[in-house]
Amino acid sequence: MIVVTTKRKASMEEEDEGCERWMVVVAAFFVQFIVCGVTYSLGVFHVIFKDIFYESHFDTSWVGSILLYITALSSVMLRFVTSYWGSRVSVMVGGVMASTGLALCMVVTELYQLYMAFGLLVGIGFGLAASPSIVAVERSFIHGRYQALSFVVAGIGAGIITFPIMIRYLLEWFAWRGTFLILSGIALNLCVCGATMRPRANDKELRLLPLLSCLPMRHPLFHGMCIANLFWSFGSTIIYMYLPAYAISQGTSFETSTLLVSCIGMASFCSRMIFAFMGHNSTLDEVTSVLCSIGLGVVITGICPLLFEHYPGQIGYTLLFGFYSGFWTTFLSQVARELIGPEYIALGNGYLSCMVGLGSLAAGPAAGLLIQEENEYKYAFYLAGSCLLWSSIIMVMFKLKRCVAPSREDFEHQKEKDDIQKVPLILDELGSTKEKVPMLADDIVVDTTLISNV
C-alpha cells in the first residue's frame, strides 16, 4: 500500500522533540511486525485449518484470502477514522478488533465462523492499524523521515521471519486453540503501540489527499500500475498460502516447512536493503531491471517442480522468490515515483489497494480449484510464477518507455526544459497544468511503500 500525506512546514520546536518522535517510530515498527507477521503466516494457518476441519483447499483458502482482501480494503475505506480521530485512536481500535477476532478463533467449530472471525474481524483490525501507524511517523518527522520510515518498514521483514517459527512452537506447546489465544494477546499490544502516538499540535494542519480521484485513471501508466499490482498480488498470495502445503506434499515435515516462510522474509529483507543502500538509481537501469524482474521471474516460474523434490531445493526456491520480491517491490516504488509522481499515486491509492485486495481474494480459491482438479501443486505454482512474471514485464515496459531518448527533432525543443528524467512521465504526456494536482505552496509530499506482498 502506498501512503501519501501532505503537511505544512513545522516549527523548529515541533521538529526537536527527539526521543518522543522515535518512540512513535518504534511503536510503528511493532505495528508492522505484528500485522505482517500474522498476515503472512497464512500458509501455516492454511495447513492447520485444512487438517482441523477436513475441508478442501478451495474452502479453506477463503480464510486467508478474506483476511488479505479486508486488510487492503479497510485501510482505504476506513481512512476517515484517521482523518477524524487521528492515528492513536485508529491503531488502538484496530488492536482491539484484531485481538477480539483472534480470540474468537478459539471457539469456532465451523469453517464459515473462521471467515468472520479471522478473515473479517482481524482484517478490519489490521487495516485500521497498519497505514495510520505510517501516517503517525510522517506527521512526526520532516528531517530524517526516510531513515525513520526505513526502520518502520523493516518491521515487515522481521515479522515474516519471526511469526512462522513462533507459531510452530506455540502449536507444539499449546495446540491450535491456545495458539490463537496467545496471538490474541500479542495483537492486543497494538493498543500499547497506538497509545504512544500522541496527537501533535500540528495535526490539524495535515491534509490527506483523496484516494479515489479519477485524474490518474486518465493515463495508461496508472492502468499499467493497477494491472501490475493485481498480477503481483495474485501470484505472491498463491506462494505464501500454498508453500508449506506443497513442501509437506513432497515429504517435508510441518515443523520444517514453516521455516520456508521465514526464509522468504530473510531474503526479501536483505534484497530490499541491498538495493536501498545502492542508491535510488540502482533498481532503475535497464540491465538490472531485466535480470531481476524478468530473469528471476522466468527461473522461478520454470523450475519450481525440480526444486521442490528435496528440502535444500525448497530453501533455494524461497530464497529466489524472497530476493525477487524484495527487488520488485523496491523497483515498483521507484518506477512509480519516476513515471507517475507521488501526487498521482496518492490520488489513485484507493484503486491500487483495491487491485491488491482483489488479487489476494481471488488467488487462494483459484489455486485451490486448480490443485483439486489436477491433484498437483506444481500447476498452481506455474500460475503464480507466470502472474509474477507478467507484473514485472508490464512495469519494465513502462520503464523502458521512459528510457527512450528524445528524437533529433525534439532535441532543440527539449534542451530549454528541465531534464526529462526529473519530470514524471504522466505530467509530460498530460501536458496541461490544469490537470496537475492542486497543492498548497508550503505543503510537503511524502510517499513510502508499505509492501503488502513483501
User: Phi, psi (5° rounding) for residue 446?
Assistant: -125, 135
CB 327 within 8 A of CB 283: yes
Greater confidence, 245 or 415?
245
Mean pLDDT over residues 351-361, rounded? 88
Q: Is the pLDDT of residue 186 over 80?
A: yes
Handedness of CA 289, 294, 297, 298 (dihedral sign): negative
13 vs 122, 139, 140, 141, 187, CA distance in Å? 38, 14, 12, 12, 34
pLDDT above 70 covers a percentage of the chain that reads 77
User: Phi, psi (5° rounding) for residue 151?
Assistant: -65, -40
Return the C-alpha cell found at 152. 518502520
Mean pLDDT over residues 382-389, rounded? 89
Greater confidence, 375 or 371?
371
State the CB neighbour count (10 A cutoff) for residue 331.
Answer: 22
Question: How many Å apart are CA 56 and CA 5, to the nearest integer?
Answer: 43
Q: How confident is the model at residue 64 (pLDDT cuts 50, 70, 90)?
A: very high
Q: How confident is the model at residue 368 (pLDDT cuts 50, 70, 90)?
A: very high
Q: Say which DSSP state 56 is in.
A: -
Return the C-alpha cell found at 1. 500500500
pLDDT at 39: 93
Q: Is the pLDDT of residue 184 over 80?
A: yes
Q: Is the pLDDT of residue 316 over 80?
A: yes
Q: Shortest CA distance to 241 belongs to which of 64, 67, 112? A: 64
* Residue 454 within a domain: no
pLDDT at 429: 52
Q: How many domains are there within the chain?
A: 1
Q: How confident is the model at residue 38 (pLDDT cuts 50, 70, 90)?
A: very high
CB 246 within 8 A of CB 381: yes
* Residue 417 within a domain: no
Greater confidence, 217 or 132?
132
> What count of residues does the chain have?
454
pLDDT at 278: 65
pLDDT at 3: 43
**Secondary structure of 313-373 in HEC code, one letter for each residue:** HHHHHHHHHHHHHHHHHHHHHHHHHHHCCHHHHHHCHHHHHHHHHHHHHHHHHHHHHHHHH
* Residue 410 within a domain: no
Question: How many Å apart are CA 227 and CA 233, to the nearest integer?
Answer: 10
- CATH number, domain of 339, equals 1.20.1250.20
Q: How confident is the model at residue 331 (pLDDT cuts 50, 70, 90)?
A: confident
Query: Of 107-111, 193-197, 431-435, which range is least confident?
Result: 431-435
Return the C-alpha cell found at 300. 522461478
Buried b / exposed e over 85-97, threshold 16 CB at 10 Å, is ebbbbbbbbbbbb
For the chain, report the end-to-end CA distance as a whole number of angstroms: 11
* Residue 350 within a domain: yes
pLDDT at 49: 92
* Residue 413 within a domain: no
Q: Is the pLDDT of residue 273 over 80?
A: no
* Residue 136 within a domain: yes
Q: Which residues contact 113 (CB under 8 A, 6 or more apart)?
A: 104
Task: Report, in angstroms and rounded to the nearest whole number, the Rg of the chain calculated over CA atoms.
Answer: 22
In the predicted model, what is the mean pLDDT of the chain?
79
pLDDT at 372: 87
Query: Of 39-43, 108-112, 333-337, which range is least confident?
Result: 333-337
Question: How many Å apart are CA 248 and CA 145, to the nearest integer?
Answer: 43
Q: Can you spell out the DSSP letters for 237-292?
A: HHHHHHHHHHHHHTT--HHHHHHHHHHHHHHHHHHHHHHHHT-TTTTTSHHHIIII
pLDDT at 281: 54
Q: Is the pLDDT of residue 130 over 80?
A: yes
Mean pLDDT over residues 277-295, rounded? 65
pLDDT at 397: 81
* Residue 415 within a domain: no
**Secondary structure of 106-175 in HEC code, one letter for each residue:** HHCCCHHHHHHHHHHHHHHHHHHHHHHHHHHHHHHCECEHHHHHHHHHHHHHHHHHHHHHHHHHHHHHHH
pLDDT at 425: 56
Q: Which of 60-74, 200-214, 270-284, 404-418 reaches the highest mean pLDDT?
A: 60-74
* 131-155 residue pLDDT tens: 888 888 888 777 777 777 778 888 8
Mean pLDDT over residues 220-236, rounded? 88
| Residue 262 lies in domain | 2-404+423-449
Q: Is the pLDDT of residue 332 over 60?
A: yes
* Residue 184 within a domain: yes
- Hunting for cell 522468504 — which residue is that? 264
State the CB neighbour count (10 A cutoff) for residue 261.
Answer: 27
